A and B are shown apart, each in its own frame.
Chain A
Amino acid sequence: MADATADQAETQSGPMLAADGTPLKRSLARSLRMQRIRALMLVAPLLIFVLLTFLSPIFDMLFRAVENRIVGDTLPRTVEVLKDWDPETSDVPPEAAFQALYYDLFLAAEAKKHTRLGTRLNYEDPGISSLFRSSGRSLDDLGEDHIEAIEDTAKQDWREGAFWYALLGGDAGEPVVESARSQFVALEGETPRGPVGVVWCGLRNVVGAPCPPSLSRMPLNFGLSNDAMAMLPTTSLQYAAFGVFTVLEDGEALQEEDPWEAVYVAMAQDLAAPDAAAKVAAYTGPGAAELQAAQQAIAALPPISFRDGFAEIDEDWLDPTVWRSIKAYSPKYTPGYFLNAVDLEMGPDGVQARPESQQIYVMLFKRTLIMSMAITISCIMLGYPVAWLLSNLPDRKANMLMILVLLPFWTSLLVRTSAWKVMLQQQGVINDTLVWLGIVSDTNRLVMINNQFGTIVAMTHILLPFMILPLYSVMKGIPPSYLRAAKSLGANNWTAFWRVYFPQSVPGIGAGSILVFILAIGYYITPELVGGTTGTFISNRIAYHISSSLNWGLAAALGSILLVAVLVLYWAYDRIVGIDNVKLGG
């Protein structure tokens, strides 16, 4: 249509105008823009779909490979105190760190999150997880004497939730309560819901599967008293933490619950403070008499030593390496997983190699690359003659033979893998045939499965069509007259092939090789089923870390490295072949 208006405009003088009077140039530009927008509109839904269902997961995985919130979320106060501690020294941190660790770990143990922390630190410092597990169990015993001393002054009152609430509770202290709540929410691992999350939960409401209520929005129905906060600051803080846990985790009201040991310990600490006696004596609110009695009982005891308490639970707490691990892995982001994925670790003097016995990933990456190369080479060796034959036969015959190539291509991967399992195993078809022919004796049948040989054979078979098809389409385009010309000029068969035909088929080899190699290095199913222990790839290790060892960060780091390798190859493939030229089924 634009052409027609252009013709009309040419007869007039001045700038060429379109039918509606606008200059033709602008009109054309607008029509081009419209075309672009229309094309983008058609592509947009799919782009968004792929972005949401495929690319965000990939980016999420990359993020997980460096994310490290567990230590900071589980031990927030300890991490704060440790900031001032120099890990280079051979001394354990000061008493304040032990005290912070006690309160942090107590809450974590009640929420049953301390083992998660132990598992995380165990990746870096093997053996540490049992320390956290056993300490979580024994924390209740720390400060036992002081707890009993307080309780013995007035058993009925101190065991009463309402009494505690009368003493410590009130309408004030919202900042303290909310900070206790955010600590608990972080501990539970719930991230605040962003706009996407709100939309998502709205959708789930419509579908009838609503999101669980957000911990950061649920009402708490309690507060603290100003008097108590001034007189017993640590106790109020711990009481708030207990309150948040009681309401959000147990679903009970704080007013009816007798607090846990950490609150008693905090009170013992507050009452032992130098000016506590004067403050308690001046206090006239509810429970004043009981508090004075408790203050006197505590004054008779030595002050609580958290350091000794932890030492009693486990001697290892006096070992600075544990504290170094906590400090080293307290930042929100860590290169630790990536270092681990290449057999390195963070030592006191920076990055260093892991102990010999723990080095496996570099070896696995190497093995994956070498075996993928072996598979690619055997695919070239097997694929080249077949592609040559197919491209030099008459079309009818070539199409018939092509079915033999396409049939395995279309057959389920598991069918082919199970077929190889059936054929290669010791009581399998190949061994039986060899025994029947008398080539191997019945007692020492060949071991062809659960090793590298099995993986290479099965994967060569599975990936061979991906080599034959690109080779075939390239060879189809090589005119046979070139070979004949070379021969008529005096080349022998080999020279004609090597100097004339082969160079022209190299693009096909390149395309096929990259395709096969990309597919091979990421393979999971076949190595898992026929690879045994020596024939497994890096992908098997990734799967192991996701589903068995639950070290997701390491799995993500290994996956990211593999992804980068594949993307580099993908880029190369795009440059050599062009992704538009990917063909399916010949």
Chain B
Amino acid sequence: MATIYSEQFRPPSRFVIIVLAIFGAGAGLLVGTAQGSGILGIIGGAILIAALGFVVTQLVEGTDNSGGERAVRWALPFVLAVGGFLFGGAAGAIVGALMGWFFGWISFWIARGRYRRGLAPYLTSKQVLWFYTFRVICWSILIFLITPILVVMPLSFNAEDFFTFTPEMLALSPEGYSLKHYKDFFYNPDWQQALRNSLSIAPAATILAVGFGTLAAIGLSQPHVPFRRTIMAILISPMIVPLIISAAGMYFFYSRIGLQGTYLGVVLAHAALGIPFVIITVTATLVGFDTSLTRAAANMGANPVTTFFRVQMPLILPGVISGGLFAFITSFDEVVVVLFVGSASQKTLPWQMFIGLREQISPTILAVATVLVAISICLLTVVELLRRRSERLRGMSPS
């Protein structure tokens, strides 16, 4: 019903023109201020887009197939891209094409009443407006979440030592881009030493955390554990206690016993910080674990060790691995504790970045940041795949 209704639904022409004019004014403001006159841009944009949108949608209104619409929607970006290119080079062409695509889409979306498609037919205009406003708000927040990462990536290819987009970069000219910050990262002994330290501390801390943590998680998910709540609270506490307090305490205590400024000290500290993550992920996996499986194995003559490695371990392995990845990333990203517990010879990658940000601010940081983001994406993918696999193994449908 709803689809039939909305297919037939056509908003009044006046409404189409006004909405398109508002969007056009917005785009006109952008172009106009960049060229010197905002007001002119608003008026020009509003008139131009409203007229254009109205004309193209009316033009193909009569033809009943969708071929006309498709032709118009291809033509618009192309025309605007050519116009943009004449106006502002490669960057202008891209902006033009994007604008052409957007206005082609929105003209038909408004004029054909498609914005009501998929919505309950009884909604009032106000409710529809709120629905889309809400979507726009949510999307802005989501964009707020990832913009910093999106800004860092292109800036890391900056050919200049600036932290902002140079005119060359905006014009998309090749001279504006270079790999020199990456080169600095891969050839500078300071950064390489920091990378080596990070790569030697994080795995050691991960192994400790996963080893102790998995055992304890298995113990904690037994049916009868005395003081379960207290033990859990103690084991989770490294995640809750502010890092600066952990760092201060460890600094005082480790310097008392001679561990301050040693590799072992940093590894122990990082292992302690990673343990809550292992406990949480592994106990979560064990919640759905069917204990009759271990009993069945024991029934068939397997001793507890064999049962553990051949039956229980493969089933909880995804949880163990993702716990390990959490522990790894905790250590790999950690800066506060290593700053206090470590000495200059344990300088890790985040520590080097911290110094770089605080003192001699160098764009190499952005290259390192991009590399780290790439690593995070890989780890995130692995964790997500593992989660799905674990749910499949335990007979849940992956969500």
Please classify how large the interface on chain B is, using the bins under 10, 10 to 19, 20 to 34, 35 or more: 35 or more
Q: Which of A38, A54, A55 has the most chain B CB atoms inside 10 A of its CB? A: A54
A491 within 8 A of B: no
Q: Which chain B residue lies CB-closest to A385?
A: B138
- CB contacts (< 8 Å) of B226 on chain A: these are 36, 39-40
B125 within 8 A of A: no
B254 within 8 A of A: yes
Contact of A422 among B30, B240, B366 (CB under 8 A): B366
A489 within 8 A of B: no
B244 engages A559 (CB within 8 Å): yes
Q: Which of B127, B250, B340 has the most chain A CB atoms inside 10 A of its CB? A: B250
Q: How far is the CB of A461 from chain B (nearest CB, A)?
A: 7
Q: How far is the CB of A567 from chain B (nearest CB, A)?
A: 8
Query: Which of B60-68, B73-81, B145-153, B178-186 is near enough to bind chain A?
Result: B145-153
B344 within 8 A of A: no
B152 engages A422 (CB within 8 Å): yes
B152 engages A419 (CB within 8 Å): yes
B377 engages A407 (CB within 8 Å): yes
A422 to B383, CA, bound (A): 30
- CB contacts (< 8 Å) of B340 on chain A: these are 543, 546-547
B12 within 8 A of A: no
A329 to B146, CA, bound (A): 54
B353 engages A562 (CB within 8 Å): no
Q: How far is the CB of B184 from chain A (nearest CB, A)?
A: 15
A585 engages B246 (CB within 8 Å): no
Interface positions of B from 295 to 345, Cβ below 8 Å from A: 326, 329, 332-333, 335-336, 340
B165 engages A43 (CB within 8 Å): no
A465 to B380, CA, bound (A): 14
- CB contacts (< 8 Å) of B357 on chain A: these are 414, 417-418, 421, 529
Binary interface encoding of chain B residues 247-287 relative to chain A, with 1 for a CB under 8 A from any of its CBs, else 0? 11111111011100000000011011001010011011000
Q: How far is the CB of A299 from chain B (nearest CB, A)?
A: 52
Binary interface encoding of chain B residues 126-165 relative to chain A, with 1 for a CB under 8 A from any of its CBs, else 0? 0100100011011001101111110110010000001111
A17 within 8 A of B: no
A419 engages B240 (CB within 8 Å): no
A423 engages B231 (CB within 8 Å): no
Contact of B272 among A38, A50, A411, A419 (CB under 8 A): A50
- CB contacts (< 8 Å) of A464 on chain B: these are 145
Binary interface encoding of chain A residues 366-396 relative to chain B, with 1 for a CB under 8 A from any of its CBs, else 0? 0000000000000000100110110000010
B335 engages A580 (CB within 8 Å): no
A60 within 8 A of B: yes
A209 to B30, CA, bound (A): 67
Q: Which of B135, B226, B244, B350 has the most chain A CB atoms inside 10 A of its CB? A: B244
A389 engages B135 (CB within 8 Å): yes
State how many residues of chain A have any CB contact under 8 Å with chain B: 100
A133 within 8 A of B: no
- CB contacts (< 8 Å) of B134 on chain A: these are 385, 389
A555 to B248, CA, bound (A): 8
A419 engages B148 (CB within 8 Å): yes
- CB contacts (< 8 Å) of A403 on chain B: these are 380
B399 within 8 A of A: yes
- CB contacts (< 8 Å) of B268 on chain A: these are 53
B2 within 8 A of A: no
Contact of A38 among B29, B222, B332 (CB under 8 A): B222
Binary interface encoding of chain B residues 362-379 relative to chain A, with 1 for a CB under 8 A from any of its CBs, else 0? 000110010011001101
Known interface pairs A407-B146, A582-B280. Does A46 touch B350 (Cβ–Cβ under 8 Å)? no
Q: Which chain A residue lies CB-closest to B256?
A: A60
Contact of A437 among B33, B147, B151, B332 (CB under 8 A): B33
Q: Specify the main secondary structure of chain B where it touches its partner.
A: helix
B164 engages A43 (CB within 8 Å): no
Query: Which of A164-172, A235-243, A287-295, A424-432 is near enough to bind chain B?
Result: A424-432
B372 engages A411 (CB within 8 Å): yes
Known interface pairs A437-B30, A566-B242. Does A406 touch B224 (Cβ–Cβ under 8 Å)? no
A348 within 8 A of B: no
A200 within 8 A of B: yes
- CB contacts (< 8 Å) of A198 on chain B: these are none
Q: How far is the CB of B355 from chain A (nearest CB, A)?
A: 11
Q: How far is the CB of B124 from chain A (nearest CB, A)?
A: 10
- CB contacts (< 8 Å) of A45 on chain B: these are 212, 215-216
Contact of A412 among B141, B144, B162, B376 (CB under 8 A): B376
A563 engages B245 (CB within 8 Å): yes
A353 within 8 A of B: no
- CB contacts (< 8 Å) of A521 on chain B: these are 242
B244 engages A411 (CB within 8 Å): no
A407 to B226, CA, bound (A): 38
Q: How far is the CB of B162 from chain A (nearest CB, A)?
A: 7
Q: How far is the CB of A408 from chain B (nearest CB, A)?
A: 5
A213 to B234, CA, bound (A): 36
Binary interface encoding of chain A residues 546-586 relative to chain B, with 1 for a CB under 8 A from any of its CBs, else 0? 11000010011001001100100010001000011011110
A56 within 8 A of B: yes
A518 within 8 A of B: yes
Binary interface encoding of chain A residues 237-275 relative to chain B, with 1 for a CB under 8 A from any of its CBs, else 0? 000000000000000000000000000000000000000
Interface positions of A from 464 to 523, Cβ below 8 Å from B: 464-465, 493, 518-519, 521-523
- CB contacts (< 8 Å) of A112 on chain B: these are none
- CB contacts (< 8 Å) of B127 on chain A: these are 493
- CB contacts (< 8 Å) of A53 on chain B: these are 250, 268-269, 271-272
B234 engages A55 (CB within 8 Å): yes
Q: How far is the CB of A123 from chain B (nearest CB, A)?
A: 17
B246 engages A58 (CB within 8 Å): yes
Q: How far is the CB of B285 from chain A (nearest CB, A)?
A: 12
A153 to B224, CA, bound (A): 86
A539 engages B244 (CB within 8 Å): yes
A338 within 8 A of B: no
A542 engages B366 (CB within 8 Å): no
Q: How far is the CB of A401 from chain B (nearest CB, A)?
A: 7
B218 within 8 A of A: yes
Q: Which chain B residue lies CB-closest to A432?
A: B164
A408 engages B245 (CB within 8 Å): no
A422 engages B142 (CB within 8 Å): no
B121 within 8 A of A: no
A556 to B350, CA, bound (A): 25
- CB contacts (< 8 Å) of A395 on chain B: these are 399
Q: How far is the CB of A540 from chain B (nearest CB, A)?
A: 8
A410 engages B225 (CB within 8 Å): no
A420 within 8 A of B: yes
Q: How far is the CB of B330 from chain A (nearest CB, A)?
A: 11
B242 engages A539 (CB within 8 Å): yes
B232 within 8 A of A: yes
B251 engages A429 (CB within 8 Å): no
B272 engages A570 (CB within 8 Å): no
- CB contacts (< 8 Å) of A524 on chain B: these are 242-244, 247, 336
Q: How far is the CB of B158 from chain A (nearest CB, A)?
A: 10
A64 within 8 A of B: yes
Interface positions of B from 21 to 38, Cβ below 8 Å from A: 29-30, 33-34, 38
Known interface pairs A413-B335, A418-B357. Does A57 touch B253 (Cβ–Cβ under 8 Å)? yes
A579 engages B149 (CB within 8 Å): no
- With A61-B249, A414-B369, A419-B151 already in contact, 8 other A-B pairs whose C-beta atoms are closer than 8 Å: A36-B224, A43-B219, A50-B237, A60-B256, A412-B369, A425-B163, A493-B127, A519-B242
Query: Shortest 3 CB-CB distances between A and B: which pairs?
Result: A522-B242, A42-B219, A419-B148
**9 cross-chain CB contacts under 8 A:** A50-B234, A51-B234, A58-B246, A385-B141, A386-B141, A408-B146, A421-B163, A422-B151, A570-B240
